[in-house]
Amino acid sequence: MSSAMPEIPWHKARKTEARQPLSQEAIIDAGIRILDAEGLVGVTMRRVAQELGTGPASLYAHVSNKDELCDLMLERIAGEIRLPEQPDPARWKEQVKQICLEAQQVYSRHRDITVVSLGSIPVGANQLRITEFLFGLMLQAGIPDQVAAWALDGLGQLIDSDAYEGALYSSRFTPGTDVDAYFQQIKDYFSRLPKDRYPLLSSMADTMVDGGGDERFAFKLDVFLRGLESYIDKPAG
């Protein structure tokens, strides 16, 4: 027969599950969950603490402030970006394009994390591995040092701005919105513009609206890379 005391009926039962120990990794995990669900505006120290079932003050032993947390979240997310096994200078344009498309897709999965990326210089290990790979690939292809360095900056802005614009579009569409119908309305609007004032836009409505976001981003990369290729074996100035 058990000698354990029965629960007192008027006392509230307590959960017996042990709370997950607080750590920087757990804080980053919580921040990314909030980011994905609510966007960057939802990521506050108070909100993260609430997600972890603790008080904001307890976070500061692991993360200095929101800015540091956002940097750590970006660094974690950058770790999701896959790189080719090794650089292939003979296919440098294809590999650069592959990495940029991969990065754009990863950042697009995490709402507006690119707001953090746009306002910072890559310094984390996960971000630097991408920079190192791209830099080495372009140098091996014959692109001058300074041109390659500036190209890294330009490619980063292309990726960030495209992913951010996609996040803005997504925020405008409520669940269940027919996106195709929305763009059909835009196309119809262009086609009805006064032909005496906008002869090109009104006659080329289909052309203006044609192509999805990924296709348009790939086109921007192609234009950038064709221009970059012109610097091979030529002085930067």
Which tens digits make up the pLDDT trace of 11-38?
A: 555 543 435 679 999 999 999 999 999 9
- Domain membership of residue 235 (yes or no) is no
Residues 6 or more apart whose CB falls under 8 angstroms from that of 34 comprise: 42, 43, 47, 48, 51
- Domain membership of residue 160 (yes or no) is yes
73 with 94, same domain: the answer is no
Tell if the pTM clears 0.85, that is, is over it: no
95 with 209, same domain: the answer is yes
69 with 93, same domain: the answer is no
| Domain C-terminal end among 56, 78, 100 | 78
Cα separation, 7 vs 183, whole angstroms = 62
Residues 6 or more apart whose CB falls under 8 angstroms from that of 179 comprise: 173
48, 95 Cβ separation under 8 angstroms:
no
Comparing 16-20, 69-73, 228-232, the range with the smallest average pLDDT is 16-20
Tell me the average pLDDT across 211-235. 90
132 with 178, same domain: the answer is yes
- Domain membership of residue 10 (yes or no) is no
63 with 167, same domain: the answer is no
Range of the domain at 163: 89-229
54, 22 Cβ separation under 8 angstroms:
yes
Average pLDDT taken over every residue of the chain: 89
